[in-house]
């Protein structure tokens, strides 16, 4: 990944201050991707240290195994080619490792020592469908962990491949992808729209504050709520489908029940 693909330091810092839910809402509003893409399922990978602040960094990717011994070296930290690859990538870095064993999570690749090496190489966290360990020590380091499980032993954990696309929970992650994670989970931020996220997030947070104030006010009613929701910018839009955004149709669907909603594309196609 070339340096021109990186976002500015200012945009990076502003995104880093946002939680994943707000950034996800901004991506939805920007039409950056379909809503069912880009987020790793929480049933596969979840936050292990939810009290740590949000993590943001560029992916360094690898595949690991733990049920059989590595071809070279005795332990997980001995693969210097892996560490050299990590050090050659844009920073800050997030280690994203697919556990390729038939049953992921048998042995943990990352614990305290691996986290310390990662921090020395300007890594801010680790994401895997496998397992992790040494939780109190790693949390004290401020190193983020997202995993499918926790394990007692490393077993034969080792990096078998690196620098190629990996897949976690059906989401393909490429080296250099911008990875964002917090207590809610992990998602990929498309670099093509990253610079637009701070502005959009600010607008969404403003709208949410106003809606919260309304819900707490004596002016609240269902009729007033309906009017307010109809006028929220972007609230009635779904992601583009074959280049055609969908938007909410009228409250009364001529082909459906009174008060039902439909989605209507620019080409006139309709769906409930």
Q: Which pLDDT score is estimated for 188?
A: 98
Residue 256: pLDDT over 80: no
What is the mean predicted confidence (pLDDT) over 84-88? 97
Q: Which pLDDT score is estimated for 246?
A: 40
What is the mean predicted confidence (pLDDT) over 139-166? 97
Shared-domain flag, residues 43 and 172: yes
Alpha helix (H) residue ranges in 91-236: 112-120, 135-141, 197-216, 222-230
Shared-domain flag, residues 149 and 206: no
- Give the span between the Cα atoms of 180 and 178, in whole angstroms: 7
- The least confident of 61-65, 70-74, 141-145 is 70-74
Residue 249: pLDDT over 80: no
What is the mean predicted confidence (pLDDT) over 95-121? 97
What is the mean predicted confidence (pLDDT) over 57-65? 97
Shared-domain flag, residues 89 and 160: yes
* Number of structural domains in the chain: 2
Contact 35, 238 (CB under 8 A): yes
Shared-domain flag, residues 140 and 219: no
Shared-domain flag, residues 176 and 261: no
Domain end among 193, 220, 236: 193
Domain end among 141, 158, 193: 193
- Give the span between the Cα atoms of 148 and 128, in whole angstroms: 7
Residue 255: pLDDT over 70: no
Shared-domain flag, residues 70 and 151: yes
Q: State whether residue 57 is helix, strand or coil.
A: strand
Structural domain for 217, as ranges:
197-271
Which DSSP state fits 64? Answer: E
Q: State whether residue 28 is helix, strand or coil.
A: helix
Shared-domain flag, residues 167 and 55: yes
Q: Which pLDDT score is estimated for 52?
A: 98
Q: Which pLDDT score is estimated for 21?
A: 97
Q: What is the pLDDT of residues 161-175, one digit of tens each?
A: 999 999 999 999 999
Shared-domain flag, residues 64 and 137: yes
Query: In percent, how much of the chain has pLDDT > 70?
Result: 81
Shared-domain flag, residues 84 and 137: yes
Shared-domain flag, residues 188 and 62: yes
Domain end among 125, 158, 193: 193
Q: Which pLDDT score is estimated for 128?
A: 98
Q: What is the pLDDT of residues 6-39, one digit of tens each?
A: 899 999 999 999 999 999 999 999 999 999 999 9
Shared-domain flag, residues 7 and 110: yes
């Amino acid at each position: 990944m070339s340096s021109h693909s990186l976002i500015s330091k200012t945009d990076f810092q502003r995104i880093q201050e946002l939680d994943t839910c707000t950034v996800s809402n901004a991506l939805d509003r920007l039409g950056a991707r379909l809503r069912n893409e880009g987020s790793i399922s929480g049933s596969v990978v979840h936050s292990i240290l939810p009290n740590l602040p949000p993590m943001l960094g560029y992916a360094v990717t690898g595949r690991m195994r733990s049920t059989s011994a590595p071809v070279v070296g005795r332990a997980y930290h001995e693969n210097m080619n892996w560490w050299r690859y990590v050090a050659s990538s844009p920073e800050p870095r997030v280690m994203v490792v697919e556990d390729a064993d038939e049953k992921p999570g048998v042995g943990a690749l990352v614990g305290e020592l691996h986290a310390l090496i990662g921090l020395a190489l300007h890594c801010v966290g680790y994401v895997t469908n496998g397992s992790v360990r040494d939780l109190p020590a790693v949390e004290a380091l401020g190193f983020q962990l997202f995993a499918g499980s926790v394990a007692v032993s490393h077993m034969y954990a080792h990096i078998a491949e690196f620098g190629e696309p990996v897949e976690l929970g059906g989401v393909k992650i490429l080296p250099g992808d911008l990875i964002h994670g917090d207590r809610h989970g992990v998602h990929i931020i498309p670099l093509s729209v990253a610079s637009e996220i701070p502005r959009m997030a600010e607008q969404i947070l403003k709208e949410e504050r106003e809606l919260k104030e309304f819900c707490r006010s004596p002016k609240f009613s269902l009729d007033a709520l309906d009017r307010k929701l109809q006028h929220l910018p972007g609230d009635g839009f779904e992601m583009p489908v074959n280049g055609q955004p969908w938007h909410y149709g009228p409250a009364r669907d001529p082909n459906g029940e009174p008060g039902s909603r439909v989605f209507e594309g620019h080409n006139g196609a309709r769906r409930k």
